[in-house]
Structure 1
């Protein structure tokens, strides 16, 4: 009796029509920070959506009922009597235990998932790259992390929708709209645009407005990091495919025989590369005559920017978003008493904190971590096709039409 195929004991992850959830290494201190900035965010970043969404809703409920943000505003602006008057102790005393649990549990869970990620990476098993249902299609593909970050700045949640993280995307989008509406954010932006700074401070509700820096900071950070990790997962999945199916022991490397022509092409990881191989097979080039070799990329001096073509896993973005969130929060609070109002000073705090975060990380990597893979479009896969002379022009045309970086021929 034949046995059913077993799934790997330590799977890398899973792809569904609504999202991709998989294991990768994370900094436990960064995850703990996001749980402190807003309980639930650390768990959402880890892919623990049920816990994350429930903790986020608990934070919204408890914070608004206890008037905690108002007490924070009064405390950091020196009005301590007002802070004591406005706080509701019936709700405040419910806050510490769950707040601390959120930080502790996300840190603990990160450490555990990091160990599982190491074990999963040692297997050749990766997730299926496509998942379809009657409502959605989800395809593992490369995307730009900077596009995801830009959409998140325009509207928290949009960057996650760009990377097809639909549960997180719509959750953040709905709550961003709710917080923006309850805080009168758009009215404040309108008054700020016309220079009516006194009316800006009068129209906004600080209790809701002080939640926005954390929401913005997390949305930008999480969408950026997830996009980078999806790109790396795509490269690993495609490399495993080529090693398993396009490195046949029957493939003969170039010899002096004049009857064979060898076409060599270089590619970056992309779906276009699989389209090339499929089209060659459709046109009569058998799998035994195609050899795909994933390349190990040499390391050189580290560059600043992650792109769709390369990301090294050493995030330049985590400290920038952390400091951007903190500075934006204080800019909003103190902006109520300064000339330009909370919106302008919140944006200044975001830019200043983000710039300092980038500067600190840049100096750290320059001093302590000097190496990284080369940037730009690089050769990540070499494709060798063995064919007869009449087929050579056809093979070259197919390669050239599908994003080959370079093409060579040996006759």
Structure 2
């Protein structure tokens, strides 16, 4: 049951809350989206909330990859066994794989560019949307979620973090895919042999064709968990009566000095949560109607190093880290079939190296951009020009 209906039909909405999840749009890096489609067709569309198209492409990738044994050919290629890679591939289905693969990359990039434009228009339109949904099977509402909790649960089992974010359909799809992947790759048996110190048995236990799906599923993540707080504050907008830079309201002039002396003004700052909304509505129920609430954490600031649960712009500092973790884990797992410690250990080592390298690259780019902005600002002040005008040049 939806609790919201608008007398005016808006053209664009930033979010939609239903019993089975919350669908929202925000800015995406089109290159990051295209890369995840390169890693696994369909993942880029899932990042953009294009679920039906994403599910179909993921299922197609599973089917056609198993038909042509592409993952096995990748393992042989990384190990220099090119003749074995040629023998592993089935040429009858290669002509079916390539067009769909290229379409997934192109379409995800194109959709990301278009949805970024739609996001800008939706932000300017700033239409109200439903923030609460209740039905016979589920209850869903906007609330502030902690990103690190979703990450920790996803590290244990992929899809559990999506359940924490109340994305039932997506979590079910990823969970079923993970179960099939774990069962067919025998990765649990390989980990068991590793714990016992039997590296040879661990290497022989895993199925190379199925194991190479693991890095893409394990390191695929969704930054939408960082944007729940901003959406929840927009749902709480009736109490945020003024923009952050506005001045405090002056005392009413028609009140005489005697009544003015009895007035009390209380100033306080709070971290936003549902408890804050309960407190404000409780004050209103007791007759305190003059409440002036300002969202302090939505003020304009320079970009920060990391997104947090208090501020998130939809762009993560960890994008390159996850991308390189997937790439290095794939190479490490492939080389592990030849090297001594096996594919599981080398896959984890490659993931750690790739993640650290990606975070370091993002850190250097962030510091470089910050230094350039400060230099441009100082030059603008010394030259007597307006800083914003100088930066635009």
Q: TM-score range by the shorter chain?
A: 0.7 to 0.9
Change over 3 Å in CA distance of 1:240–1:28 after alignment to 2: farther
> CA contact under 8 A between 1:200 and 1:341: conserved in structure 2?
yes
Structure 2 residues without counterparts, runs of 5 or longer? 1-5, 243-248, 374-393
Please report the RMSD computed on the Cα atoms of aligned residues, expressed in angstroms.
Answer: 2.1
Aligned residues: 357
User: Who is 2:73 aligned against?
Assistant: 71
CA distance in 1, matches of 2:29, 2:338: 37
Normalised to the residue count of structure 2, the TM-score between the two structures is 0.86
User: Who is 1:271 aligned against?
Assistant: 274
User: Who is 2:377 aligned against?
Assistant: none
The 5 A counterparts of 1:313-352 are 313-352=314-353
User: Who is 2:379 aligned against?
Assistant: none
Change over 3 Å in CA distance of 1:282–1:94 after alignment to 2: same
SS of residue in 1 equivalent to 2:158 = coil
User: Who is 1:292 aligned against?
Assistant: 293
CA distance in 2, matches of 1:366, 1:253: 46
1:119 counterpart = 2:121: yes
CA distance in 2, matches of 1:311, 1:319: 17
User: Who is 2:232 aligned against?
Assistant: 234
> CA contact under 8 A between 2:334 and 2:343: conserved in structure 1?
yes
Cα-to-partner distance string for 1:97-145 (whole Å, 9 max, x where unaligned): 0000000001111111111100000123232221111111111111111
Match of 2:133 among 131, 134, 151: 131
The 5 A counterparts of 1:9-20 are 9-20=11-22
CA distance in 2, matches of 1:320, 1:211: 19
SS of residue in 2 equivalent to 1:350 = helix
Q: Give 1:241 shift.
A: 4.7
Deviating more after overlay: 55-64 vs 116-125:
116-125
User: Who is 2:312 aligned against?
Assistant: 311
CA distance in 1, matches of 2:229, 2:91: 47
Structure 1 residues without counterparts, runs of 5 or longer? 245-250, 373-411
Q: Give 1:75 shift.
A: 1.3
The 5 A counterparts of 1:174-189 are 174-189=176-191
> CA contact under 8 A between 2:306 and 2:316: conserved in structure 1?
no
More strand as a share of residues? 1
Cα-to-partner distance string for 1:158-182 (whole Å, 9 max, x where unaligned): 1111111111111111101110110
Q: Give 1:292 shift.
A: 1.5
Structure 1 consecutive aligned stretches of length 4 or more whose deviation exceeds 6 Å: none
User: Who is 1:5 aligned against?
Assistant: 7
> CA contact under 8 A between 2:27 and 2:315: conserved in structure 1?
no
> CA contact under 8 A between 1:141 and 1:234: conserved in structure 2?
yes
CA distance in 1, matches of 2:371, 2:312: 15
SS of residue in 1 equivalent to 2:13 = coil
Normalised to the residue count of structure 1, the TM-score between the two structures is 0.82
CA distance in 1, matches of 2:167, 2:182: 22
> CA contact under 8 A between 1:35 and 1:102: conserved in structure 2?
yes
Q: Give 1:6 shift.
A: 2.9
CA distance in 1, matches of 2:78, 2:251: 71
CA distance in 2, matches of 1:58, 1:52: 10
Q: Give 1:240 shift.
A: 5.5
Q: Give 1:41 shift.
A: 0.3
> CA contact under 8 A between 2:145 and 2:165: conserved in structure 1?
yes
> CA contact under 8 A between 1:71 and 1:87: conserved in structure 2?
yes
